Amino acid sequence: MVYILLGEGFEEAEALVTADVLRRAELPVCLAGIGGEMVTGSHNIVVKSDKAVEGITLSAGDMVVLPGGMGGVASIENSQTAMALARQAREDPALWLAAICAAPTLLARAGLLGSGVHAVCYPGMEDELSAAGAVPQMDRPVVAEGSLITGRGPGAAFDFGLALVEALAGAETAEQIRAGLHYGS
């Protein structure tokens, strides 16, 4: 299961494009709400979550996805449950963790990136990655390193979603989805 964590002020494009791309690949996706069933994004789009973050129990192969948006990142950071899920996903080699836009900086602040880890985030925030010992790769829309996948921002949402599909379902499936979307062609 892929759990996309939604907190008030999340970046809608990063969460919903990612969910759409994953579902096109027939991967199970759960929009997990922080603080309520109806969650308002940074552009006032209200999304109904599938379940509360408190109802999540991670199993081998699961992925936790952290969309950006300053409000959404603050919501994740202020939720003990959401942060526990991020920590578990980062520390357990049988799990995946993905973060896009401002969310990789949350991982940096929480000590979840590690020294020498390659990552990308929203441009202008890369100093937060460097301060944690990570190596920013700002010339790339997405960086996949082991079980950690990071994305640059809303404009990289399709690249991010396709990288998640590739990690979970393989390069061939990701290419089929990319071709079906007529993305990059």
Active site positions, annotated: 101
Q: Please enumerate, as own/partner, the contacts of 82-89 that have beta carbons within 8 Å and a separation of 24 or more.
A: 82/5, 82/7, 82/34, 82/53, 83/110, 85/3, 85/5, 85/53, 85/56, 85/58, 86/110, 86/112, 87/112, 88/58, 88/64, 89/58, 89/62, 89/63, 89/64, 89/147
Rounded Cα–Cα distance for residues 181 and 185 (Å):
9
Residue type, 43: H
DSSP state of 75: H
Asked whether the beta carbons of 37 and 52 are under 8 A apart, the reply is: yes
